[in-house]
Structure 1
Amino acid sequence: MVQVAAALLFALAAGLGLMVILAMLKTNGDAILSALAGEGAFPANTAPQPPATVIKLRPSAPRRHISRAITARPQLSRAA
């Protein structure tokens, strides 16, 4: 009985996964098929171009390295 329920649950999960894959193909079929063909989602002439101007960020202040003293801790607990 448990094996039948597990088999039905597995079949339901497989069917749901197949439905998701088919829905993705239906909505984005052109982009997926062109990517599988090696063309990519964007044709070469309509691909996003980099911006013409580059904005430079101001440099941040240098960070100070703070060294902390490492305290020696006993290797054994106090109960030992």
Structure 2
Amino acid sequence: MSSNSPALPGAENDPLASPGEVVVDAAARPVRRSFMAAYRARVAAEYEAAPRGNKAAVLRREGLYQSQIREWARGRDAV
């Protein structure tokens, strides 16, 4: 195993791993998502136009948090 690939501790004793297979920890290098300005504007407008009971559905569908929408709206309004 090379020293630059992160592997789980004790991976060499993993009964599910085949011999010579390296088990890589997927959480070792998280990737931050980025959003295009048009997407942010569209989702923020859709969230704000949604009736009170349907706002959470927009967040769930898009995989976002309310704090992200608030931040996007604040940035939009500051311009």
Higher relative contact order (CA 8 A, sep 6+): 2
- With normalisation by structure 1, the TM-score equals 0.18
TM-score where L is the length of structure 2 = 0.18
